[in-house]
Structure 1
Amino acid sequence: MSDAREDAPPSIDPMVDFESAFDDAPFKLSDYRVEDFVTLTLFWALILVVFTQFFSRYVLGSSIGWTEEIARYLLIGVGFLGSVMAARNGSHIMVEFFYHYMPQWQARLLERLVNLVSLVFYIAMAWIAYQLASRTNSLMVSVDLPKSIIYFTVCAAFVLMALRTIQRLYLKYRDRNDVV
């Protein structure tokens, strides 16, 4: 007679589970969109600016003034344009715990409600960011560029999030005939 309980899950070697986390699907260029490449470009620009800041401050002993501000703005761009990718894939952070304990019709209804609220939020934030950008007339501190560029970037990201959400929902529900 063994000490293991019959209802206990089978033991799995932790290394097998760890290694399976790194099994990636093969690379396909068709899986990526324009915003992915723009975000990647901004990310690499951020890496170069932060490296320049680090190198000038700790190796040369004199910090370059514009690097800190530009790094901050690039990080904002990467964050918001990265959110467009998450909206396209439906991978924004959400609590899935409750979906598992609801009847299927209720989970579908809640999912549609959450998607609708998210879409309204994206549109509202795009409008607010547009209003803020159109009212901002100041220049960046260290570079003679209008600060409204940042707000227009955020506005464009929210518009793209709304469009990608609509696209994802359309593709998801166009072939479904189920009625909630």
Structure 2
Amino acid sequence: MNNSRENSPPIGDPMVDFESAFEDAPFKLSDYRLEDFVTLTLFWALILVVFAQFFSRYVLGSSIGWTEEIARYLLIGVGFFGSIMAARNGSHIMVEFFYHYMPGWQARLLEHLVNLISLSFYIAMAWIAYQLASRTNSLMVSVDLPKSIIYFTVCAAFTLMALRTVQRLYLKYLGRSL
């Protein structure tokens, strides 16, 4: 028998795709943009705040009051700034099933339509978040900061998602990658 055939995974094995996701690519600093570093900073701030909350509650026996609210807002920031990264890379969640069974021209037309709808959504949500931020005058519960900071952050994230989507589509039109 052919020994190499027995050791190779069967065709269509889901583990092949799973393992290929963990292949190491060389690190290049030029692959990262400003929003990547902002997201990383917010993420580490979230880790530190949650650790402070855990430590104060379970080790010291007295919870720090502001940590829960700040952790919630940092998580919002991580989610929205992570979405900017996904918009830049074109990696937002989508259903690819239909694209495989369509003719090429239909798949391209649907892709353009989805990109246009996404761009419209980002612009509309940026406008709504701006309107909400402009009307919010209350302060956060545990910290004396205006709640509008959160809404302006969301507005900025949607604006940057729209700009990164336009940039990605423009570079794709030119035949280059981001």
Using structure 1 for the length normalisation, give the TM-score.
0.88
Equivalent residue for 1:23? 23
Q: Secondary structure at the match of 1:99?
A: helix
Rounded Cα–Cα distance in structure 2 between residues aligned with 1:175 and 1:11: 36
> In the alignment, residue 129 of structure 2 is paired with which amino acid?
A
Equivalent residue for 1:70? 70
> In the alignment, residue 25 of structure 1 is paired with which amino acid?
A
Rounded Cα–Cα distance in structure 2 between residues aligned with 1:84 and 1:163: 9
Q: Secondary structure at the match of 2:95?
A: coil
Q: How far has the Cα of 1:115 moved from its partner? A: 0.1
The alignment's C-alpha RMSD in Å is 2.0
Rounded Cα–Cα distance in structure 2 between residues aligned with 1:109 and 1:45: 42
Rounded Cα–Cα distance in structure 2 between residues aligned with 1:31 and 1:70: 30
Q: How far has the Cα of 1:173 moved from its partner? A: 1.1
Which ranges in structure 2 are unaligned for 5 or more consecutive residues?
1-8
Rounded Cα–Cα distance in structure 2 between residues aligned with 1:59 and 1:28: 40
Q: CA offsets per residue over residues 71-99 of structure 1, 9 Å max, x none?
A: 00000000000000000000000000000
**Alignment pair present for 1:151 and 2:151:** yes
Equivalent residue for 1:3? none
**Alignment pair present for 1:124 and 2:111:** no
**After the TM superposition, which residues 70-149 of structure 1 pair with which residues of structure 2 at under 5 Å, given as runs?**
70-149=70-149
**Could you say if the C-alpha distance between residues 60 and 96 of structure 1 is closer, same or farther in structure 2, counting changes exceeding 3 Å?**
same
Rounded Cα–Cα distance in structure 1 between residues aligned with 2:89 and 2:72: 26
Equivalent residue for 2:51? 51
> In the alignment, residue 100 of structure 1 is paired with which amino acid?
H
Q: How far has the Cα of 1:17 moved from its partner? A: 6.0
Q: How far has the Cα of 1:16 moved from its partner? A: 6.5
Which ranges in structure 1 are unaligned for 5 or more consecutive residues?
1-9
Q: How far has the Cα of 1:11 moved from its partner? A: 1.4
Q: CA offsets per residue over residues 16-74 of structure 1, 9 Å max, x none?
A: 76543321210000000001000100000000000000000011111000000000000
Q: Percent identity?
A: 92
Rounded Cα–Cα distance in structure 2 between residues aligned with 1:129 and 1:16: 43
> In the alignment, residue 128 of structure 2 is paired with which amino acid?
I
**Could you say if the C-alpha distance between residues 11 and 172 of structure 1 is closer, same or farther in structure 2, counting changes exceeding 3 Å?**
same
**Could you say if the C-alpha distance between residues 104 and 124 of structure 1 is closer, same or farther in structure 2, counting changes exceeding 3 Å?**
same
